[in-house]
Amino acid sequence: MRDNQTKYLLLITFLLVAYYLVCGIYLSRLGYFSQEGLFYIEKTKIVLDGLGNRLKVMGLTAPILPFYMSFIFSAISDTLAPLIASAVSTAILFYIMARTLSSRFKDPFYLLILLIVFALHPGILYAACSGKSIGLVLIFFFMFFFNLLKFYRSNTTFHVSIASISLVVLIFCDYKFIWLTLFFIPLVLSITIQSLNLGEQESIFRLFLSFNNPSLRRKLINKTFALYIILFILPLSCIVCYKLLNLTHAEDLNYFSESPYATWNVLADKLSFDQLSTSHGYQLPETSVLISVRILIFCPMMLVAIYLFRESTYQVLTLLAPFAFVEFLHIKYEKVFLSQEYYLIFLVLSLLCILYKAQTIRNQPALKLVVGLVAILQLYTGYLFLHDSTVGEERTFITMLLNRTPITEQDENHQLANYINHLPADTHILVDDANAYPVVAYTDNVHKLTLPYQSVFLSAIEAPDKYDDYILLASDKNQTTGYTQLNNKYLPVIKNTNSGLRFHRVYETNDWILYKIF
Partner 1 sequence: MSIPELLIKDGFITERDREKIDDLSARSSLSFIKIALNFGYISRKNYERSLSNAGYVFSEIREMPSDPQVLSKIELKFADQHVAIPLRIENNRVITLMANPDDKLFIDFIRFTYDREPEIIVASDLDIVWLSHKLLGDKYVKSAVYELLNRDPANSAFITFSSGQLVFLFALFGLIVIGLMINFKTTSITINVLVSFFFLVAILFKLFLALVGSRFELHQAVTRDDLKELVEDDLPIYTILLPVYKEDKLIKKLIWNLQALDYPREKLDIKLLIEEEDDKTLNAVRNLDFPAIFEVVVVPFHMPQTKPKACNYGLHFARGKYLTIYDAEDIPDTDQLRKVVAMFGKLPSNFICVQSALNYFNRNENFLTRMFTLEYSYWFDYMLPGLDTLDIPIPLGGTSNHFKLENLVELGAWDPFNVTEDADLGVRAYQKGYKIAVVNSTTYEEANNEPINWVRQRSRWIKGYMQTYLVHMRNPLSLLRRLGWKGFLGFNFFIGATPLTFLIYPFLLAIFISYLVFDLSTIRTLFPDWVLFVSIFNLMVGNILMIYINMMAVFKRRFYELILYSIANPVYWLLHSIAAFKGLYQLIVKPFYWEKTEHGLSKVTNPTNVVK
Q: Using the 8-state DSSP alphabet, how is residue 309 labeled?
A: T
Closest CA to 344 of 306, 309, 301: 301
Question: Does 233 engage in binding with partner 1 (CB under 8 A)?
Answer: yes
Nearest to 410 by CA among 424, 423, 395, 396: 396
CA distances (Å), 248 to each of 174, 263, 270, 357, 398, in order?
22, 18, 27, 47, 42
Q: Cα-flanking dihedrals φ and ψ of residue 513, to 5°?
A: -130, 125
Smallest separation, CB 224 to partner 1 (Å): 9
Binding of partner 1 at residue 230 (CB under 8 A)? yes
Nearer to partner 1, 164 or 350 (CB): 164
Residues 242 to 261 in contact with partner 1, rule: CB under 8 A: 245, 248
Q: How far apart are CA 284 and CA 220, in angstroms?
A: 46
Alpha carbons 278 and 276: distance in angstroms, whole number: 5
The pairs formed by 329-332 with CB atoms below 8 angstroms and a separation of 24 or more are 329/176, 329/179, 330/286, 330/288, 330/291, 331/288, 332/179
Sheet strands (E) in 261-419: none
Nearer to partner 1 (CB atom), residue 110 or residue 356: 356
Tell me the β-bridge partners of 473.
513
Binding to partner 1 by residue 191, rule CB under 8 A? Answer: no
| 222 lies in the site for partner 1, by CB under 8 A | yes
Pairwise CA distance, residues 21 & 49, whole Å: 26
Q: Which of 164, 201, 223, 154 is nearest to 312 (CA)?
A: 201
Beta pairing, strands 429-430 & 470-474: parallel
CB of 248 to partner 1, least distance (A): 8
- HEC profile of 280-348: CCCCCCCCHHHHHHHHHHHCCHHHHHHHHCCCCHHHHHHHHHHHHHHHHHHHHCCCCCCCHHHHHHHHH
Among positions 25, 51, 59, 465, the unique one binding partner 1 when judged by CB under 8 A: 59
Q: Angle at CA 444, nearest 5°, toward 443 and 449?
A: 60
Residues 6+ apart with CB under 8 A from 204: none
Report, in Å, the least distance between residue 64 CB and partner 1. 11
Backbone angles phi, psi at 507, to 5 degrees: -150, 140
Which of the stretches 217-225, 330-338, 414-422, 487-495 binds partner 1 when contact is defined by CB under 8 A?
Answer: 217-225
| Least distance CB 432 / partner 1 (angstroms) | 22
Which residue in the set 23, 58, 196, 253 belongs to the binding site for partner 1 (CB under 8 A)? 58
Candidates 103-111, 153-161, 268-276, 449-457; binding stretch for partner 1 (CB under 8 A): 153-161
The residue from 7, 48, 49, 154 that contacts partner 1 (CB under 8 A) is 154
The least distance separating partner 1 from the CB of residue 353, rounded to whole angstroms, comes to 23
195 binds partner 1 (CB under 8 A): no
Stretch touching partner 1 by CB under 8 A, among 33-41, 204-212, 231-239, 359-367? 231-239
Q: Does 158 bind partner 1 (CB under 8 A)?
A: yes
By rule CB under 8 A, what string of x and - marks binding of each residue 113-152 to partner 1?
A: ----------------------------------------
Output the smallest distance, CB 428 to partner 1, in A. 22
Residue 2: exposed, middle, or buried by beta-carbon count in 10 A (0-12, 13-18, 19+)? exposed
Instruction: Please state the closest distance from residue 68 (CB atom) to partner 1, in A.
Output: 11
DSSP 8-state class, residue 183 = G
Is residue 283 a contact point for partner 1 (CB under 8 A)? no
In this structure, the number of other CB atoms found within 10 A of the CB of residue 338 comes to 21
**List 11, 48, 185, 229, residue binding partner 1 (CB under 8 A):** 229
Which residue among 72, 204, 241, 376 contacts partner 1 (CB under 8 A)?
Answer: 241
Q: How far is the CB of 150 from partner 1 (least distance, A)?
A: 11
Determine if 25 is a binding residue for partner 1 (CB under 8 A): no
Q: Cβ distance 74 to 322 under 8 Å?
A: no
Residue closer to partner 1 (CB basis): 248 or 403: 248
Nearer to partner 1, 187 or 220 (CB): 220
Reference 34, options 422, 448, 321, 407; nearest CA is 407
On the question of a cis peptide bond just before residue 452, with omega within 30 degrees of 0, the verdict is no
CB 107 to partner 1: min, Å? 27
- Tallying the residues shown for the chain, one arrives at 518
Residue (of 305, 306, 349, 310) closest to 326 by Cα position: 349
Minimum CB distance to partner 1 smaller for 23 or for 165: 165
Do strands 512-517 and 503-508 pair parallel, antiparallel, or not at all (unpaired)? antiparallel
Nearest residue (CB) to partner 1, 33 versus 144: 144
65 part of the interface to partner 1, by CB under 8 A: no
Q: Which stretch binds partner 1 (CB under 8 A): 19-27, 89-97, 157-165, 399-407?
A: 157-165
Contact pick of 25, 30, 51, 226 for partner 1 (by CB under 8 A): 226
User: By C-beta, is 48 or 493 nearer to partner 1?
Assistant: 48
Using CB under 8 A as the binding criterion, the count of chain residues that bind partner 1 stands at 26
Residues near partner 1, by CB under 8 A? 53-55, 58-59, 154, 156-158, 160-162, 164, 222-223, 225-226, 229-230, 233-234, 237-238, 241, 245, 248
